[in-house]
């Protein structure tokens, strides 16, 4: 399963007067991003419970807002099972199926897969003040229509870069003319022996632009080198070097 660098977000289930931590994250996913080919009937994401106790898992998709309540959005995908119990040292497979509702055919679409782990109550917790925490993993799901031109590698190489003025400072603008998303994990602009850094990165949508703030304003520039890290379908960082245009 093609799954990309996951970030872990934490939701908390706390009961009044709980004062000690009773759990840690135990369920892992088989990757860090998922790619859904346009001609696939479904894709799968594997979960594995590494702990010695069972875990209750809830899975759902959202379109970009992590605060949206599960099931509120009408999305063109179905995740099954939406709720499941995973026994200790056992696994469970999530199945994601495209419903066929219209999506753009000339570019990728992106959604987010959420997996919430609610740990079981410890047998030793009776009569004790305990805090139980639910851990959420949230990874990107890319829907990739059949027939897109080029590859994600071609897309990263084809990004053009320019320094533009934004309010009272200059920023680095990336233009993505490809049909693929490009997730950038950090970049560096070098010009006339000076370096300007952006450590945060961020994803550039297909056929769109994105501005990256730098560690300091470079001023107007029309020459320089941009070195950036981007993540491939397996979540592995690749390095690309481009010239300002």
Residue at 2 is within a domain: no
Residue at 82 is within a domain: yes
Structure tokens, 14? 């706390």
One domain, residues 138 and 194: no
Mean pLDDT score, 8-34: 54
Would you say 205 and 218 are in contact if contact means Cβ atoms under 8 Å apart? no
pLDDT confidence of residue 135:
86
One domain, residues 13 and 119: yes
One domain, residues 32 and 120: yes
pLDDT confidence of residue 130:
54
One domain, residues 27 and 131: yes
Domain termination site, one of 144, 169, 185:
144
Q: Which domain holds residue 102?
A: 7-144
The CATH number linked to 97 is: 2.60.40.10
One domain, residues 125 and 84: yes
One domain, residues 57 and 176: no
Q: Using CB atoms within 10 A of its CB, is residue 10 exposed (0-12), middle (13-18) or buried (19+)?
A: exposed
One domain, residues 124 and 21: yes
Mean pLDDT score, 161-169: 94
Question: Is residue 81 reached through a cis peptide bond, with omega within 30 degrees of 0 on the bond before it?
Answer: yes
One domain, residues 188 and 88: no
Q: Domains in the chain: how many in total?
A: 2
Residue at 1 is within a domain: no
CA distance 131 to 90: 25
pLDDT in tens, 183-222: 999 999 999 999 999 999 999 999 999 999 999 999 999 8
Mean pLDDT score, 131-155: 91
Domain termination site, one of 112, 144, 176:
144
Parallel, antiparallel, or unpaired for β 202-204 and 208-212?
unpaired
Would you say 195 and 121 are in contact if contact means Cβ atoms under 8 Å apart? no
Check whether 9 has a pLDDT greater than 60: no
One domain, residues 95 and 157: no
Domain termination site, one of 125, 144, 163:
144
One domain, residues 25 and 129: yes
Check whether 72 has a pLDDT greater than 80: yes
CA distance 91 to 131: 26
One domain, residues 101 and 201: no
pLDDT in tens, 97-136: 999 999 999 999 999 999 999 876 666 655 565 555 678 9
One domain, residues 125 and 187: no
């Amino acid at each position: 399963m093609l799954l990309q660098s996951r970030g872990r977000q934490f939701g908390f289930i706390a009961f009044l007067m709980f004062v000690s931590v009773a759990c840690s994250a135990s369920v892992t996913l088989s990757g860090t991003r998922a790619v859904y080919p346009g001609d696939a009937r479904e894709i799968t994401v594997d979960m594995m419970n590494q702990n010695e106790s069972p875990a209750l898992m809830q899975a759902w998709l959202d379109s970009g807002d992590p605060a949206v309540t599960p099931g509120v959005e009408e999305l063109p995908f179905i995740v099954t099972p939406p709720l499941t119990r995973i026994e200790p040292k056992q696994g469970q497979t999530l199945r994601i199926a495209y419903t066929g509702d219209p999506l753009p055919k000339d570019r990728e679409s992106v959604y987010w897969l959420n997996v919430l782990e609610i740990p079981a109550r410890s047998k030793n917790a009776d009569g004790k003040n305990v805090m139980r925490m639910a851990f959420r993993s949230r990874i990107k799901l890319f829907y990739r229509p059949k027939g897109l031109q080029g590859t994600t590698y071609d897309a990263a190489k084809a990004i053009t870069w320019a320094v533009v003025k934004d309010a009272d400072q200059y920023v680095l603008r990336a233009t993505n003319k490809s049909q693929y998303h490009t997730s950038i994990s950090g970049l560096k602009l070098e010009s006339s022996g000076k370096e300007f850094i952006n450590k945060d990165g961020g994803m550039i949508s297909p056929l769109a632009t994105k501005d990256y703030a730098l560690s300091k304003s470079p001023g107007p520039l029309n020459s320089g080198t941009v070195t950036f890290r981007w993540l491939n379908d397996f979540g592995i960082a690749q390095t690309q070097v481009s010239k300002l245009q």
